[in-house]
Structure 1
Amino acid sequence: MPNKTYGQLCPIARSLDVLGDRWTLLLIREFLLGPKRFKDLLAILTAMGPNRLSERLAMLVQNGVIQPVTLLTPAATPAYELTELGERLRTPVLALGFWGLGLPVDERIDPSSARAELIALCLTCAHDPAASVGLQEVYEFQVGPEVFHIRVSDGSLLARSGPCTEPVDIRIQCDMDTFIALVLRQITPTQALGEGRAKLLHGDRPAFMRVFKVLEYKP
């Protein structure tokens, strides 16, 4: 099925020809967190349905935004990941997400849909690079049932779904409310540890303090 088009030779219109359909940007959001299998995407975007998901994935492959890939663990499994062209969407999509952090939440929004890894993903585009200049570290988080990690590399941050396959510098366990309170600076890391709201599973206290300086949300 050919793409719908606005028929305008305008960069914004051409971008929307590829990305403007419902669900497409949410698929890009998931791929910004790393490669994803079909069943992973369907589990996250349940209302999308398998037929529409197949259609959107085929369209994104056709337009060179994503490409098939084989994940080797736990067994060889087909999946999709962003291409170099798709990766160029990181800055504009995360800027859109960061803008959305300031929007009010109305009664149509399901609070249980909140995911700490998506909050972390949006914060990676808005952090103060000076807070992580010279750092080469990996932070892993267990927030409720979620596991994700953030790679810090000399002023840049990269969020990824799942546990890190390499050694990490720090591993933190907390619930969603505590994670949000920490990144919003509503509580300090010292308070979170002292009150038992967060646990340090690996790493030391100075590293724990540094994590939430790097991730601090500054509207």
Structure 2
Amino acid sequence: MPPRRSYDQYCSAARALDVVGDRWTLLIVRELLAGPRRYTDLHADLPGVSTDVLASRLKDMERDGLATRRRLPPPGAAFVYELTPRGRQLLPVLQALGEWGRPGLGERRPTDAVRAHWFALPLLRQLDGEGIVEVRLEEGLFHLHAGAEEGPVYGDGPAPGEPDARLTLDTATCTAIARGELGLAHAVREGRVEVSGEGTLAKALREA
């Protein structure tokens, strides 16, 4: 592989950007926070990235110790990419970037793609506690692993097993939460988020 480009500056921020500063890298991390993903799934959920760029970024991430590639056992037998522990350490970085970028989110543009699970990280910032939360949006269904120290942070589709809480809300409400215009607890009190379940997280949201 060609040598990694570097700012050649003795600064920890510059060193970090040597690894994650290329276009698409942090968005690939966002997708891999859901757990192991096939190349085709990554490409489908990163609209706008070319196959060459995606392949190149994944190789760079393997080289830099952010991700690994492995083959699933039969009958799957497909290759998947997943984050290493060092790659997972980028979760608070993405959360901080999301928080910083909220004022620039604005109204959704006609050219803006959207996936239901892209709301996972903003919602995670609103949850205080540990447990699995299933989220139902018009765009789709996904689940969150609140307080998870290892393993997936979120995932597409229904929660594995019985979740601690189920949230049902419309896109306008979820968008307002993502923009920072509305807190999750406040949205529950206003009746804009339906909470079901008997887990600790569900009770905390209903009582907030």
TM-score, reference length from structure 2: 0.76
- Find out whether 1:37 has 2:38 as its counterpart: yes
- Contact preservation (8 Å) 1:95, 1:122: no
Structure 1 residues 16, 213: CA separation in 2 closer, same or farther (over 3 Å shift)? farther
- Contact preservation (8 Å) 2:66, 2:84: yes
* Equivalent in 175, 179, 184 of residue 174 of structure 2: 179
Q: Deviations over 1:84-112 (max 9, x none)?
A: 111111112211111111225378x4475
Amino-acid identity (%): 30
The match for 1:90 is 91
Over the aligned positions, Cα root-mean-square deviation in angstroms equals 3.5
TM-score, reference length from structure 1: 0.73
- Aligned-residue offset at 1:52: 0.9
Instruction: Give the Cα–Cα distance (whole angstroms) in 2 for the partners of residues 73 and 190 of structure 1.
Output: 49
**Within-5 A mapping of 1:10-89:** 10-71=11-72, 75-89=76-90
Instruction: Give the Cα–Cα distance (whole angstroms) in 2 for the partners of residues 115 and 212 of structure 1.
Output: 27
The match for 1:148 is 142
Q: Deviations over 1:31-59 (max 9, x none)?
A: 22322211111112231111111111001
The match for 1:139 is 133
What SS does the corresponding residue of 1:81 show, helix, strand or coil? Answer: strand
Which stretches in structure 2 are left out of the alignment for 5+ residues? none
One-letter amino acid of the counterpart of residue 58, structure 1: K
What SS does the corresponding residue of 1:80 show, helix, strand or coil? Answer: strand
Instruction: Decide which moves more: 114-123 or 20-29.
Output: 114-123
How many aligned positions are there?
A: 200
Which stretches in structure 1 are left out of the alignment for 5+ residues? 215-219
The match for 1:217 is none
The match for 1:167 is 162
- Aligned-residue offset at 1:165: 2.4
Instruction: Give the Cα–Cα distance (whole angstroms) in 1 for the partners of residues 66 and 75 of structure 2.
Output: 26
- Contact preservation (8 Å) 2:188, 2:205: no
